[in-house]
């Protein structure tokens, strides 16, 4: 599972050859959510409110990069990493 980024205690991952819709996995402590790359909103699971807002902001800032990473990972290619939220 490629590690894309880490910020404010939140780890962001993609799975290789994962199923649509395009999404990432965000972990914060004991919380985990599957988050839409398009909307930045949780599809499954949940994060604390502040962590969810930070992830949504990060997704919004990096939507083009995330789309490219999803495309690579969905074809089994290492997606690389993305700058953390600043």
Question: Which residues constitute the domain of residue 33?
Answer: 3-74
Q: How many domains does the chain have?
A: 1
Q: What is the pLDDT along the chain (86 residues), one digit of tens a residue?
A: 789 999 999 999 999 988 899 999 999 999 999 999 999 999 999 999 999 999 999 999 999 999 999 999 999 999 999 999 98
In-domain check, residue 80:
no
Q: Cα separation of 50 and 3, whole Å?
A: 21
In-domain check, residue 16:
yes
In-domain check, residue 86:
no
In-domain check, residue 84:
no
Is the pTM value of this prediction over 0.85? yes
In-domain check, residue 85:
no
In-domain check, residue 31:
yes
| Tokens (6 digits) for 75 | 């074809």
| Tokens (6 digits) for 21 | 């819709």
In-domain check, residue 24:
yes
């Amino acid at each position: 599972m490629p590690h894309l980024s880490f910020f404010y205690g939140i780890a962001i991952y993609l799975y290789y050859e994962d199923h649509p819709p395009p999404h990432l996995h965000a972990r914060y402590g004991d919380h985990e959510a599957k988050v839409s790359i398009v909307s930045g909103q949780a599809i499954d699971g949940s994060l604390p409110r502040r962590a969810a807002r930070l992830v949504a902001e990060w997704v919004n800032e990096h939507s083009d990069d995330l789309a490219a990473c999803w495309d690579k990972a969905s074809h089994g290619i290492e997606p690389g990493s993305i700058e953390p939220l600043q």
